[in-house]
């Protein structure tokens, strides 16, 4: 049985959350755009290499920057996963149908994937 590929318009085919292990695999393969929705001061404390900083508090004004990523698989992360869930929902409502939130945020990333990323 063939499993269909998720399309931009089929939001139900792609879960809203994705775990850190899968994010690490996709990031290593160059298969996602990782968006950090934390604040700049948090980004200075700890960051995941390659993540694009677009703070949730400035989302409305910087959302236009996302157009360059339209059609790509976006994964959003924050500190623990709550803000990124809100942002992933917003992205889906605005045509980024495969946007996902990284469950557990950068805290889970530090615990499970890269302990060199500071916890705070």
**pLDDT tier at 3 (50, 70, 90 boundaries)?**
very low
Contact 20, 113 (CB under 8 A): yes
pLDDT of res. 107? 98
- Domain assignment present for residue 3? The answer is no
C-alpha–C-alpha distance, residues 86 and 105, integer Å: 13
pLDDT tens digits, one per residue of 15-62: 999 999 999 999 999 999 999 999 999 999 999 999 999 999 988 787
pLDDT tens, position by position, 56-101: 998 878 778 888 999 999 999 999 999 999 999 999 999 999 999 9
Residue 119 counted as domain residue: no
Report residue 41 as tokens: 């001061």
Residue 60 lies in a domain: yes
Domain count of the chain? 1
CATH number of the domain within which 59 lies: 3.40.250.10
Q: Which residues of 74-84 are buried (b: 16+ CB within 10 A; e: fewer)?
A: bbbbbbebebb
- Please report whether residue 92 resides in a domain: yes
In a domain, 30, yes or no: yes
Residue 33 vs residues 1, 2, 21, 72: alpha-carbon distances, Å? 30, 26, 15, 7
- The secondary element (H helix, E strand) that includes residue 102 is strand 100-102
């Amino acid at each position: 049985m063939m499993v269909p590929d998720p399309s931009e318009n089929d939001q139900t085919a792609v879960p809203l959350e994705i775990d850190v292990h899968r994010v690490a695999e996709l990031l290593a393969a160059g298969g996602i755009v990782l968006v950090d929705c934390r604040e700049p001061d948090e980004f200075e404390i700890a960051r995941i290499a390659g993540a694009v900083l677009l703070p949730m508090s400035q989302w409305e004004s910087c959302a236009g920057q996302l157009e360059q990523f339209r059609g790509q698989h976006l994964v959003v992360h924050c500190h623990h996963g709550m803000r990124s869930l809100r942002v992933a929902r917003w992205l889906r409502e605005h045509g980024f149908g495969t946007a996902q939130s990284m469950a557990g945020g950068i805290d889970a990333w530090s615990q499970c994937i890269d302990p060199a990323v500071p916890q705070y």
